[in-house]
Amino acid sequence: MSGQRWMMGGAIALWLLGATAAIAQTPADPETEALIPRAVLLDLTTGPSDPLLPSKLSTRGYTPLEKRAIRAAIAQLLDAADGAANLQQDDLAFELRFRAIRLQQALGLAEELPLLKLTGQQAREKNRAVESQAITKRLQQIEATTPDLSPAQQLDLAIAYQEVRDFDNAIRLYRQLLAQPQAPGDRRDLLDALATSEFESFRYAAAAETYGALVALLTDNPLLDIGLNSQVQEARLGPRQEPSYSQREWAVRQQIFSLEQLRRYEEAIALQQAELALIRPDLQPAWLLAIADNQRRQKLLAIAVETYQSVYRQALPLGQLALARDALEALRDLYQEQNQMADAIAVYDLLLAQARNEGDLYGLMENYARLGRYQLRQGDRPAAERAFTEGQSIAGQLGYSGPELTALQAQLSP
C-alpha cells in the first residue's frame, strides 16, 4: 500500500513538472497534437478540459493528491498570466487565465466562481470584449445548469455579471437577493451593488430610488455607516468613494446626481437642502453652490442669486477662494443674462479685486477682457477701451495675450 501511494505521488510530481514546462506554450490536443485554436481556449462552456489535467477514470473523481496538483497548476498558470500582462502580452495573459478557469471547473463551482469574478474584472479593465462575452456565456450556463444555487453563489454570479457589464443579469440577481430576508449589513451591500449597476447602466430613475433606499437604511442604522469594505466593495465595482465621504454621503450624492440627469431638479434641491444641516460648516459653501446651480436650472433665478451670494460670503472667510470665484462667475453670468448691467459690473469689480489680491495676473487679464467685451455689447465703447488697456498692460507683464483679450482687440479694431 505504501509503495502504491509512493508511485501515485511520484506520478503526480512528474506530471506537475511537465505542467510547469508546458505552461508557457500554446497547448496542443493530446490526440491530434495540433495546437488548440484560441476560440476553443476561450470557450468555457465545454467543461473542464486541458492537457494539464491529469487523466482519471470515469468511475471516480479526482483524488486529493490530484486536486492538489491541479491547484498547483492553476497557481502556475495565473503567475504566468500576471507575468505576460506585465509584459503587455494581453492575449497570452487571458489565454492562461482561461486555462486556469477550465482547470478550476474540475474542482467545482465554489472554486471556479471567484476566478470568474477576478478574470471578469481584468477583462473589463482591459476592455476585452471577446473575453467578457466568453465569461458571460459561462455565467449563463452555470445559472441554467445549477438550479440550486446558494445565496452566496448567486451573489458571486451577480458580481461577475456586473464585472463584465451584463447589467441586466446583475440587476436581476441583486433584486432576487433583496427580495429575501437579509441582515441589515447584507442588505446595505446589496443595495449598494444594485444602485451601482443601475447607475452605471444609465438607469437613473431606478438608481435614484435604490440610492434613496440605501440612504434611508444608513440613516436608520448609523452603525452600518462605518466605512468598512463590504464584499461587493472589495470586488472594486462602480464609482469609487472619496476617502472623506462616508457611504451614506456618497449614496446621497449619487442619488442627487441621478435626479439631475433626469432633470428632476426640484427633488434634487429638496435633498440638498435637507442634507445641508448635516454637513460641516467648512463643507457648506460647496454644497450651497450645487444647490444654486440646480436652482438656476430650475429657473428659480432670484433664489439662485441669493444662494450664490451666500456661497461667496461663506467661502471667503474660510479661504475657499476657488469656490468664491465660482459663485461670482455664476452671478456675473446670471446678471448678464438678465440684462442687469449695474449688478454685473459690480460683480466684475469683485472678480478683479479677488484676482488682484491673489496675485492672479492671468485671471486679472481675462476678467478685464471679459468686462470690456460685455461693456462693448452694452454700447459703452469708452469703458471697453479702458478695460482693454488694463488687460493689455497685464498681458505685457505676462508676455501672453489670452483668447478673451485677443477677441476684444479684434472687436475694438476699426
How far is 162 from 154, CA to CA, in rounded Å? 12
Helix (H, G, I), strand (E, B) or coil at 86: helix
Instruction: Give me the pLDDT at residue 398, please.
Output: 85
- Which residue shows C-alpha cell 454570479? 157
What does DSSP assign to residue 180? S
The beta strand positions in 48-173, using DSSP E, are: none
- Asked whether 332 and 326 are in contact (CB, 8 A), the reply is no
Buried b (16+ CB within 10 A) or exposed e, 389-403: ebbbebbeeeeebbe
Give me Rg for the CA atoms of the chain: 31
Q: Which phi and psi angles does 239 have, rounded to 5°?
A: -60, 140
pLDDT tens for the chain, 414 residues: list them.
444 433 343 444 434 434 444 565 666 565 555 566 677 778 888 877 777 777 765 557 788 888 898 899 999 999 999 999 999 999 999 999 999 999 999 898 999 999 999 999 999 999 999 999 999 999 999 999 998 999 999 999 999 999 999 999 999 999 999 999 999 999 999 999 999 999 999 999 999 999 999 999 999 998 888 654 444 444 433 344 444 578 999 999 999 999 999 999 999 999 999 999 888 899 999 999 999 999 999 999 999 999 999 999 999 999 999 999 999 999 999 999 999 999 999 999 999 999 999 999 999 999 998 999 899 899 999 998 898 889 888 888 888 787 887 888 888 776
Residue 240 backbone class (left: φ over 0; alpha: ψ -120 to 50; beta: rest)? beta
Angle between helices 90-105 and 109-125 (to 10 degrees): 160
Q: Of 102, 100, 54, 51, whose CA–CA distance to 78 is shortest?
A: 100
**Joined grid coordinates for residue 227:** 466605512
Per DSSP, the chain holds a count of helices (H) and strands (E) of 20, 0
Q: What is the pLDDT of residue 229?
A: 46
Residue 57 phi/psi, 5° resolution? -75, 145
The span from the CA of 99 to the CA of 44, in Å, is: 9
Give the DSSP letter string of 70-86. HHHHHHHHHHHHHHHHH
pTM, two decimal places: 0.81
What is the rounded CA–CA span in Å between residue 269 and residue 113? 43
Instruction: List the grid coordinates of 84.
Output: 505576460
SS3 string, 46-71, reads CCCCCCCCCCCCCCCCCCHHHHHHHH
- Residue 168 has what pLDDT? 97
Report pLDDT for 25: 62
Return the pLDDT at 408: 80
Phi, psi of 244 (to 5 degrees): -85, -5
375: Cα separation from own chain's centroid: 44
| CA 411/CA 402 separation, integer angstroms | 15
